[in-house]
Every structure is written in C-alpha cells, then in structure tokens.
C-alpha cells in the first residue's frame, strides 16, 4: 500500500476548548489506485491530507507511506491543494518545473520534459504565459502538471475542480482520467461531489460529520472508461444511493 492510515485522531484548540476534527479515520490507497474521500463540509478531509503531508501531526494513530514506517512525505506524495498556488511572476513553464527545481534537478532538463508534456496537459502554446492570463481550468491543469512532474508515487488532490463551472469540471474529470491512465500514480482525491467520486474512482471512502470517521467504504467496480452515459447506468445509480444514505446518516 502507498498510504495506510490507522485510526487517525486530531483535535484543535478553539477558544480554549478542544474541537475534535478526526475521530479515528482508517483508510488505505494501493499502488496505482484512484481512491476518493467524500464527506460533509468541515468534516476534516483537508486536515487528513495535511497529516499525510506532514504539515501537522495526528493526536493519535499512525500514517505509513510507501509501504514503510518512517518514510518522509516528500519522498512519496505530491500535494495539490484546493487553490492552484501558481506563482504569478513565473511563466507556466517555470511554474510546472518548480518542484524539480526545489529538488535540485537540472533546470533545462526539467524544462525539456515539461515542454514535451504540454500537449497532454492542454497547455501547448501557453508555455510563456503567466497565471493571470489563464482560465481557471488551465490554471488547474498547470497545477496538476506541477504535481505530476514532481515524480512522486502518490498524488493528493484536494477538490481540484471545486471552483470550476459544471461543463469545465466534466471535461477536467475526463482529462484527469487520461493523465492518470498514462502515468498510473496512485491518487487520493477529496471531493464533495458524489458523481465525481464515482466517475473517477476505484474505491470511495465516505466520512461522517466532525469528528470524522469512515462510515462507508465502497468498491466502485464500474467498467472503464467511464463517460457521460455512466451517470444513468443502474449500477452507478445504486452506488450513488448508497453514498447518499451514508452521508445523510
């Protein structure tokens, strides 16, 4: 397993009182899997990602990355938060190679690889553009390209399409599946959207309201590739009902 979470608990102090956020979350992501995490707003999904990345520690429980205890997050995972966080003073090309530069790799080698991948990420012709000149969907493509180019075994994607309109979001989902199929990195994906989770994922974890626990672990099992017609497949609708029941408690 690329990620194993064992009984993760986390609280924060608010006005001098502990606020439990995670109440014992256990989950796993295997090699090359696409796994989604869905739950109510404020239930701790982003907190869980911050724990995986080592940005904060759990109060209780254990995180195992890359199949070995003690592995550093930076060796295993690449994190794309909700906002693209592109640097406004760098071109698209120089934004997407940032992780490689920070790792001390040769800049021109990283640039050459990035140029070759620009068409796959829908950014051909925009290499020298700046983030302010891009649409929301293109900014997300650039942010994901930066995460992919970091060459980590797991991508953590925290609601990357949440701010996009419905049509752009649907196109981005299909494009993300094409990228995932090419690189086959494991993906751990946070979303509020049930349809999105089922279209994209091999498995789905559903969380309760805060303090979050896993209330449903669902094997999707729908054949790939999944298209618009999948949304009306009786098997898809049955899975959607299961998740709805779990979320509504």
Which pair of tokens denotes residue 243?
Answer: 């998740």
| Pairwise CA distance, residues 117 & 127, whole Å | 11
Q: pTM score > 0.95 for this model? A: no
Q: Who contacts 234 (Cβ-Cβ below 8 Å, separation ≥6)?
A: none
Res 161: pLDDT: 84
Res 171: pLDDT: 86
What domains can you pick out in the chain, each with its CATH number?
3-248 (3.40.50.300)
Task: Read off the pLDDT of residues 27-44 as tens digits, 9 standing for 90 and up.
Answer: 999 999 999 999 988 888
Helices (H), 3-155: 45-52, 73-76, 92-96, 98-102, 107-117, 136-149
Predicted confidence band at 137 (pLDDT cuts at 50, 70, 90)? Answer: confident
Task: Read off the pLDDT of residues 45-90 as tens digits, 9 standing for 90 and up.
Answer: 889 999 999 899 999 999 999 887 777 888 899 998 888 899 999 9
Which pair of tokens denotes residue 182?
Answer: 């090419």
Res 234: pLDDT: 95
């Amino acid at each position: 397993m690329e990620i194993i979470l064992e009984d993760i608990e986390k609280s924060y102090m608010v006005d001098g009182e502990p606020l439990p956020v995670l109440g014992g979350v256990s989950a796993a992501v295997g090699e090359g899997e696409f796994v989604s995490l869905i739950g109510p707003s404020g239930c701790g999904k982003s907190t869980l990602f911050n724990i995986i990345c080592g940005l904060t520690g759990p109060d209780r429980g254990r995180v195992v990355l890359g199949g070995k205890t003690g592995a550093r997050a930076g060796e295993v995972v690449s994190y794309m938060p909700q906002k693209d966080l592109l640097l406004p003073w760098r071109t698209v090309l120089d934004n997407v190679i940032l992780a490689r530069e920070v790792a001390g790799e040769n800049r021109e080698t990283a640039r050459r690889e990035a140029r070759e991948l620009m068409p796959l990420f829908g950014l051909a012709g925009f290499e020298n553009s700046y983030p302010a000149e891009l649409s929301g969907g293109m900014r997300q493509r650039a942010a994901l390209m930066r995460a992919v180019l970091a060459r980590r075994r797991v991508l953590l994607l925290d609601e990357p399409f949440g701010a996009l309109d419905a049509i752009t979001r649907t196109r981005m989902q299909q494009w993300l599946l094409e990228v995932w199929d090419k690189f086959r990195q494991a993906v751990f994906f946070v979303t509020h959207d049930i349809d999105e989770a089922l279209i994209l994922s091999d498995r789905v974890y559903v969380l309760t309201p805060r303090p979050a626990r896993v209330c449903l672990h669902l094997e999707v099992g729908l054949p790939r590739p999944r298209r618009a017609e999948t949304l009306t497949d009786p098997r898809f609708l049955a899975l959607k009902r299961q998740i709805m029941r779990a979320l509504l408690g």
